[in-house]
Amino acid sequence: MNQPDLSRITEFNGYSLITDPDDHGVSEAIREHHVWEKPTTEKLIELLKPKMTFVDCGAHIGYYTLLASSIVGLEGWVYAFEPSPHNRAFLLANIMYNHSNNIVVYPFILHLSCGFMRFTERIAGNTGDSYIERDSNSQSPLIRSVTLDSLFQPNTVDVIKIDCQGSDNTIVEGGKRLLTESSDIKVFYESDCRSILERCGYTHFTDLTTGEGPSTFATKYVM
């Protein structure tokens, strides 16, 4: 595992991001373009306000975590979930480097039930491509799994970003009470969650697809 290298720092939106030299996905794009998933980034900047609460499901090295932290301020909160020890080392380094005191990091898998699951992480190439192991014979390490509903009460979260390598729908399933009973949590997701979100009362979906990957923004009401 590479330790965070303080010489690899990119400045963006008032904060600094230490990138992973072995990551040819998010980190490489940030180093080259100083932005990742531009439409999603711009929409988040538009939506987030001081004192809000943001949940980052699949925080990786902290791009969206730090972006949200810089906007919601000391009276807001950011909850970042990152089960990969490799990525979490960069996430924690970025939080410390930026002296961010409004971020809580959970080393858990978000899923539809609480328990333990085997998890395979990528530490080179595309380090965002870590995933829950479906093979029952896998020797991958066991990681604790939790649900959004087990951690958050309705109307305590303003914005959620979900990017968990095909597990987005199970995360939404595990947060149906939170999403249904809250007035209107804004949700950004990567893989298809539309049918589940519609059952939670969501009616408006905006395509934010870029060359870096698909992304959809969902809300209950017209903005």
Say how far apart CA 193 and CA 110 lie, in whole Å: 15
Q: What is the pLDDT of residues 144-196, one digit of tens each?
A: 999 999 999 999 999 999 998 778 999 999 999 999 999 999 999 988 899 99
What residue ranges do the domains of the chain occupy?
Answer: 37-219
Whether residue 55 is predicted with pLDDT greater than 80 in this model: the reply is yes
Decide which of 69 and 129 is more confident: 69
Listed residue (223, 89, 84) closest to 159, CA to CA: 223
What's the confidence (pLDDT) of residue 194?
A: 95
Topology classification of domain 37-219: Rossmann fold (3.40.50)
The one-letter code for the residue type at 179 is L
In contact, 35 and 210? CB cutoff 8 Å: no
Strands (E), 3-150: 9-12, 15-18, 53-57, 77-81, 103-106, 109-110, 115-120, 131-132, 142-146
Residue 1 has pLDDT above 60, yes or no: no
Please check whether residue 159 is in contact with residue 54, taking contact to mean a CB–CB distance below 8 angstroms: yes
